[in-house]
């Protein structure tokens, strides 16, 4: 189960876990790891953080959908 801290580490190159997060998401993208889920709470927390940083609703949805 992927939690918010791993998503933030992936997005933040300065995070001490960035390299590990990058490797993890690369394995998921290549299909080496299957049945990986993102915690529903991680989506909610990410949306709340983005809202606090001034993102509008459309920007948040666009970023979460990819």
Local structure of 38: helix, strand or coil: strand
Expressed as residue numbers, the domain containing 40 is 4-65
- Give the pLDDT confidence of 10-37 residue by residue, as tens digits: 989 999 999 999 999 999 999 999 999 9
Q: Which of 63 and 21 is assigned the larger pLDDT?
A: 21
Please give the full DSSP string across the chain, using - where no structure is assigned.
Answer: -B-HHHHHHHH-TTSTTHHHHHHHHHHHHHTSS-S--B-HHHHHHHHHHHHHTT--HHHHHHHHH-
Total structural domains in the chain? 1
What is the rounded distance in angstroms from the CA atom of residue 32 to the CA atom of residue 50? 30
The answer to whether residue 60 scores a pLDDT higher than 90 is no
In DSSP terms, 2 is beta-bridged to 38
């Amino acid at each position: 189960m992927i939690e918010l801290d791993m998503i933030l580490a992936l997005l933040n190159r300065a995070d001490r876990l960035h390299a590990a997060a990058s490797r993890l998401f690369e394995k998921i993208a290549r299909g080496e790891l299957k049945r990986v889920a993102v915690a529903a709470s991680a989506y909610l927390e990410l949306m709340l953080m983005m809202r606090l940083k001034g993102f509008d609703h459309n920007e948040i949805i666009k970023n979460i959908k990819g």
